């Protein structure tokens, strides 16, 4: 498929940066909003109710990261939309808790496992096929930092890496303790992490944010650092690397009793670990690319999409790997594939 559009942003203020984003992505923002109007309605949320709930997060955002809120306001103005609409798509995780299908496989490869002592952050983003119509790539350059990432148009950049050598990749989780309540939307947290000036600052942000839903947040640093937090509303546990490799999917590893879906398949993280570890000590970008194309355990595979056997088509009605990313810190580059990596091409995007 064609690469997702790249939005270039260099405004001097957060509001100006939001304006640039909204103006360039206006059409896709509209598509995104229409998608979530229908998606939320299926879950019993009218669009008005979704906007009202999302706007309830404003006090916490204003208190903790007012500059990111200014960016959201600029985005709304640039796209010609209400702030409530932009807030609703940014709070889709809190509103829908954990949309099916299962989302995402992530990994970190540390110097001891990589050729030449390099560090990589890795993600396959699995989601609903329809969102491929409104995904955008973002390159933001400010006086303080630059970042490359991706988002559904209208959302803050939710994953990627920055010039301070900080990357963030995430997995959806749902615990028995998730609830509708006050906190900080995870999309806003992720955006703030991508503005961090150091790995330590990013880690402090994750450790201390107020939340109402669960999420797995993996931070990877250019100096061979990784912290993986299985976050619940009232606690968080850390997952540790094994021999310089860390992988995660959509189930709780440390506290499995908290999982709202205890019978879900628990294979993608283990499979990706197996694939990466086959070249432990000599892992390269081409090897990671091949690993992210793997179909074992389909339809719960690392690479998710319709498959064909002979003349018969076996089809996941909704789920697909909508994008794949590999961050190479040494080269200041994110390699991003639009759509399933087995069918597409990884394109380098430099800071």
Q: Bigger pLDDT: 43 or 19?
A: 19
120 neighbors 313 (Cβ within 8 angstroms):
no
Tell me the percentage of the chain whose pLDDT exceeds 90: 88
Q: Bigger pLDDT: 129 or 5?
A: 5
Peptide bond into 299 cis (omega under 30): yes
Residue 22 lies in a domain: no
With a CB cutoff of 8 Å and minimum separation 6, the contacts of 298 are 304, 307
101 neighbors 319 (Cβ within 8 angstroms):
yes
Q: Which secondary structure element, helix H or strand E, spans residue 28, and what is its range?
A: helix 26-42
Residue 287 lies in a domain: yes
104 neighbors 170 (Cβ within 8 angstroms):
yes
Enumerate the H helices of 109-223 as residue ranges.
186-193, 199-208
Residue 49 lies in a domain: no
Angle 142-146-148 (CA atoms, 0-180°, nearest 5)?
130
Q: Bigger pLDDT: 113 or 312?
A: 113
What is the tens place of the pLDDT at every residue in 140-176?
999 999 999 999 999 999 999 999 999 999 999 999 9
Q: Which secondary structure element, helix H or strand E, spans residue 230, and what is its range?
A: strand 225-231
CATH of residue 156's domain is: 3.60.60.10
Q: Bigger pLDDT: 174 or 102?
A: 174
The rounded distance, in Å, linking the Cα atoms of 277 and 269 is 12
Buried residues in 304-315 as b, exposed as e (16+ CB within 10 A): bbebeeeeeeee
- pLDDT bracket for residue 197 (50, 70, 90): very high
> Is pLDDT of 268 > 90?
yes
Residue 5 lies in a domain: no
pTM as predicted:
0.95
Residue 86 lies in a domain: no
Instruction: Count H helices and E strands in the chain, helices first.
Output: 11, 16
* Domain total in the chain: 1
> Is pLDDT of 100 > 80?
no
The rounded distance, in Å, linking the Cα atoms of 1 and 133 is 11
By the 10 Å C-beta count (0-12 exposed, 13-18 middle, 19+ buried), 263 is classed as exposed
- pLDDT bracket for residue 311 (50, 70, 90): very low
The rounded distance, in Å, linking the Cα atoms of 167 and 130 is 26
Domain encompassing residue 198: 101-350
Tell me the percentage of the chain whose pLDDT exceeds 70: 95
Q: Bigger pLDDT: 310 or 258?
A: 258
Give the pLDDT of residue 22.
98
Residue 173 lies in a domain: yes
Give the pLDDT of residue 181.
87
Residue 314 lies in a domain: yes
Residue 319 lies in a domain: yes
């Amino acid at each position: 498929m064609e690469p997702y559009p790249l939005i270039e942003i260099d405004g001097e203020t957060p509001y100006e940066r939001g304006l640039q984003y909204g103006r360039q992505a206006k059409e896709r923002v509209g598509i995104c909003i229409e998608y979530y109007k229908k998606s939320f309605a299926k879950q019993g949320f009218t669009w008005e109710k979704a906007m009202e709930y999302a706007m309830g997060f404003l006090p916490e955002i204003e208190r903790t990261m007012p500059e990111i809120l200014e960016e959201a306001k600029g985005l709304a103005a640039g796209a010609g939309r209400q702030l409530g609409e932009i807030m609703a798509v940014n709070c889709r995780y809190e509103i829908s808790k954990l949309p099916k299908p299962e989302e995402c496989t992530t990994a970190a490869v540390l110097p001891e496992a990589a050729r030449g002592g390099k560090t990589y952050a890795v993600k396959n983003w699995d989601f609903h096929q329809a969102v491929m119509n409104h995904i955008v790539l973002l390159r933001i350059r400010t006086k303080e930092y630059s970042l490359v990432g991706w988002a559904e148009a209208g959302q803050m950049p939710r994953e990627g890496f920055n010039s301070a050598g900080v990357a963030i990749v995430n997995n959806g989780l749902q615990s028995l303790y998730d609830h509708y309540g006050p906190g900080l939307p995870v999309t806003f947290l992720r955006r703030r992490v991508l503005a961090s000036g150091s790995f330590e600052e990013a880690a402090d942000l994750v450790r201390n944010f107020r939340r109402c839903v669960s999420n797995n947040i993996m931070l990877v640093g250019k100096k061979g650092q990784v912290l993986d937090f299985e976050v619940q509303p009232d606690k968080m546990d850390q997952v540790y690397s094994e021999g310089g490799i860390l992988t995660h999917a959509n189930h709780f590893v440390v506290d499995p009793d908290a999982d709202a879906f205890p019978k879900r398949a628990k294979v993608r993280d283990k499979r990706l670990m197996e694939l990466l570890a086959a070249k432990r000590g000599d892992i390269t970008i081409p090897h990671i690319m091949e690993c992210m194309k793997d179909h074992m355990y389909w339809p719960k595979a690392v690479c998710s999409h319709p498959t064909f056997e002979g003349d018969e088509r076996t089809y996941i009605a909704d789920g697909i790997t909508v994008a794949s990313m590999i961050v190479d810190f040494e080269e200041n580059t994110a390699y991003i594939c639009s759509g399933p990596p087995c069918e597409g091409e990884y394109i380098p995007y430099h800071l």
